[in-house]
A = this chain, B = another copy of it.
Amino acid sequence: MKFDTVTIKDIAKALNFSTSTVSRALRGSYEISAETKKLVLEYAEKINYRPNPIALSLKERRSRAIGVVVSEISNNFFSEAINGIESIAYNRGYHVIITQSHESAAREKVNVEHHASRSVDGLLISLSSETVDLNYIKELNEKGMPIVFFDRITDEIDTHKVTANNYLGAMHATEHLIFQGYKKIAHITSSPLLSIAKERLNGYKAALEKHNIPFNDSFVKYCVHGGMILEEIEEAIEELYKEKIKPDAIFTASDRITTLCFGVLKKMKTKKELGFAGFTNTKVGELFNPPLTVVKQPAFEIGQTATELLIQMIESKRPVVDFETRILDTELIIRESSLRKVEA
């Protein structure tokens, strides 16, 4: 015995009741006399009785806990989203258990399965940039585990999804660069496997097309590790500058890639001539030199919405079959980094 924790048995013994009577009294069952209830409740309070949630989970196959799987909590988007998740979950009486995949598909699988075997009541998943095989998630989902995808979603599994309007966000940012007079806009993004990368690329393309700027394939660089490795960013930029036609602006497509690119360009000292805008939820873009133009996702709201949908599924009496994909608007915050430098 690790701790000498107080159990229902102790109460029963002390009060000379059966454990079932105590259990019922504790839960306020109508079949228990007021007197007994009072006795039990008071004694429980006195000895500081706490029900053992593990025993409950074993019995009821549920835990009032929600599992979260994200790639990196140090990514501002995710820490904000998690705050949104918690804000709803705690109010509804659910605990939130956070795990990180670090952009590894293997780690993601371990995390999902750990959550499942620990009987979380539902799962909030944002896929890793490496993930290809979704079968194990699909199976889990088909077995009845409620799952909501957020941010990095997938077509392969039919369930609720919540994400930002990545298409429009990217389109507006790109258009903004075009309005500033930039014509050779490069796009640095993460793994092409990611839904968000595809959507942002499409938004970028749409803006170019709308303004009759030909799309140039060599202006798009992928960082398959999603910016976890500095070298891949440096390489992408280097390649960009090897092209015959050099870009006059860069539009980056994810949190870490945005700040890392900004840093690399700063060191290259070519930044001055470059227009720069990127997706990121950093709180400090304003403090950068030059201040950073960003596409900001409604991370907190995405977390909230996903959690609401998940709890709705968890608590639904009958299996949910009507799924929705909620798409929340991004915000373009224009600062100096994307503004056309006045020619001297």
Interface residues in chain A, defined as those with a beta carbon under 8 Å from any beta carbon in chain B: 1-4, 50-55, 57-58, 61-63, 72-74, 76, 79-80, 82-83, 86, 95-100, 113-114, 117-119, 143-145, 259, 262-263, 266, 282-284, 286-291
- CB contacts (< 8 Å) of A291 on chain B: these are 289
Contact status B263-A54, CB under 8 Å: no
Q: How far is the CA of A99 from the CA of B83 in the complex (A)?
A: 11
The 3 A-B pairs with the shortest beta carbon distances in the complex, nearest first, are: A289-B289, A74-B79, A2-B61
Asked if A73 meets B79 with Cβ closer than 8 Å, knowing A95-B114, A97-B97, A288-B287, the reply is yes
CB A113 to nearest CB in B, in angstroms, measures: 7
Select which of B1, B3, B76, B284 is within 8 A of A145 by beta carbon.
B3
Could you list 24 examples of A-B contacts with CB < 8 Å? A1-B61, A3-B144, A4-B143, A50-B117, A52-B117, A53-B114, A54-B58, A54-B63, A58-B58, A73-B73, A73-B74, A73-B79, A74-B83, A82-B100, A83-B100, A86-B100, A95-B114, A98-B98, A259-B283, A259-B284, A266-B287, A282-B284, A284-B284, A289-B289
Closest to A139 in B: B48
Select which of B55, B72, B80 is within 8 A of A58 by beta carbon.
B55
- CB contacts (< 8 Å) of A99 on chain B: these are 95-96
Contact status A53-B289, CB under 8 Å: no
Q: How far is the CA of A288 from the CA of B282 in the complex (A)?
A: 13
- CB contacts (< 8 Å) of A86 on chain B: these are 100
CB A243 to nearest CB in B, in angstroms, measures: 25
- Centre residue among A4, A74, A114 by max chain B CB count within 10 A: A74
Q: How far is the CA of A290 from the CA of B266 in the complex (A)?
A: 13
- CB contacts (< 8 Å) of A289 on chain B: these are 287-291
Q: How far is the CA of A54 from the CA of B79 in the complex (A)?
A: 28
CB A117 to nearest CB in B, in angstroms, measures: 5
Contact status B57-A54, CB under 8 Å: yes
- CB contacts (< 8 Å) of A282 on chain B: these are 284
Select which of B63, B74, B97 is within 8 A of A76 by beta carbon.
B74
